[in-house]
Amino acid sequence: MMNYRSITAFIMIGWALLAPAQGNQFCQVLDSVEANNATLVALRREAEARKLENHTGITLADPEVAMKRMWEGAEQTGNMMELSVSQSVDLSTALGKRKAVARQKDRLVDEEYRSMRIDVLLEAKLVCIDWVYYNALAAELDRRLAYAHQVVEAEKRRLDSGDTDMLSYNNVLLSLSALQAERARVDMEKTLLATRLAYLNGGRQLPFDSAEYAPELLPDNFEQWYEEAMAHSPALAVMREERETRRSELSLSKTLHLPTISGTYIHERHLTGERSQGFAIGVNVPLWANKNQVRSARAALSAAEARETDAQLQVHAYMLEGYERVRGLQQTAALYHCALDEANNSAMLARAMEEGLISVLEYLQGLELYYDYLDRSLSADRDYYRALAELESWRL
């Protein structure tokens, strides 16, 4: 008897045969959504604006040019004109601390955009997974409807010849009506998904006709998979960059206690023709203006480190729980596929009814059991791929 692992491997090998075509269609949809999604377009522009803002005010102060004209007393002749050029130097800027903070903030902006980008692409991928499910369900319902019409026609001939009664004929009619109603519901769901995908694609319709998933497998080695997931987790990346930003700001705040040096070149000219020039140096000592800045920056860094630790614990719990859940759904889907391959009774039921071995009601009951199991198999596939997409959204 095959165990869960061998069953899963057997089914997944079959699914893998369809990987290239289906995977390309999924990738095409995600690429289009990334390029056209209105939210992502706005976020990219906002990220550019934030980066420009990060690099504003990190250069030396603008030089100051002043001109002065002085009138002398009546006992003297002429007047004096003075031209001065001043430049102040902030040591935190000269040491590159402000640029380091700006670059770190840029990395934080990139990670925040990546996190929001993943949210949008995950939503698009989940819509595609649901669409695959309804496409597969629609194809299955079409097969059932075609066969149900044949059964109704055959039962009508039997009714006309007196080989059956109206009750049996009505049962097959009701079964056909139920299938038609379910098929109409599936069409409605597909229309809603098409509308949602068009919205995610910036209002542009996207064709998607796949009835098979792009096969994806969860690795057996949890620790190796977990290390990769932690290294690429968008939530942890944002926390990590926020912590480094606070660390850079702390380093900057320490340099703000250093004095600001200013130099001034002075050129004087008297109307008598005499000229004089010189140089003045000033020092601005920040005794009170930056009070508590270092303590505030250190507290912000401590808070960022605490948030990062909390995020690591949350992500670990989420990954561990999600990993076990996806593994269970993978095994469930594989078991459904294996059972359907080994226990397809639809043909035998039809033959038994035609030979009069079972009644129409017994036939419909047996067929309903098989159809219910097949529907459960389709739902299990969708549940597995949705859970895996959410768990491995960091790969998007």
Sequence spans of domains, the chain: 4-60+111-253+288-395
**pTM for this one?**
0.82
When comparing pLDDT for 306 and 83, which is higher? 306
When comparing pLDDT for 176 and 87, which is higher? 176
Q: Quick one: pLDDT at residue 305?
A: 92
Give the max Cα distance, the chain.
Answer: 141
User: What is the tens place of the pLDDT at every residue in 254-273?
Assistant: 887 777 778 788 877 766 66
β strands within the chain, DSSP E: 64-71, 79-90, 260-270, 275-284
Rounded to whole angstroms, the Cα distance separating 295 from 297 reads 5
In the numeric block, which tokens belong to residue 148? 């149900």
User: What is the tens place of the pLDDT at every residue in 314-362?
Assistant: 999 999 999 999 999 999 998 888 887 776 666 677 777 666 677 667 7
Average pLDDT over residues 90-115: 85
In the numeric block, which tokens belong to residue 322? 């999600």
CATH code, 4-60+111-253+288-395? 1.20.1600.10
Phi/psi region, residue 292 (left: phi>0; alpha: psi -120 to 50; beta: rest), is left
Question: What is the DSSP code string of 307-343?
Answer: HHHHHHHHHHHHHHHHHHHHHHHHHHHHHHHHHHHH-
Q: Which residues 6+ apart lie within 8 Å of 114 measured at CB?
A: 234, 237
Q: Quick one: pLDDT at residue 21?
A: 52
Round to the nearest angstrom and report the end-to-end CA distance of the chain: 38
Given CA atoms 271, 273, 276, 277 in this order, what sign does their dihedral have? positive
Average pLDDT over residues 62-70: 79
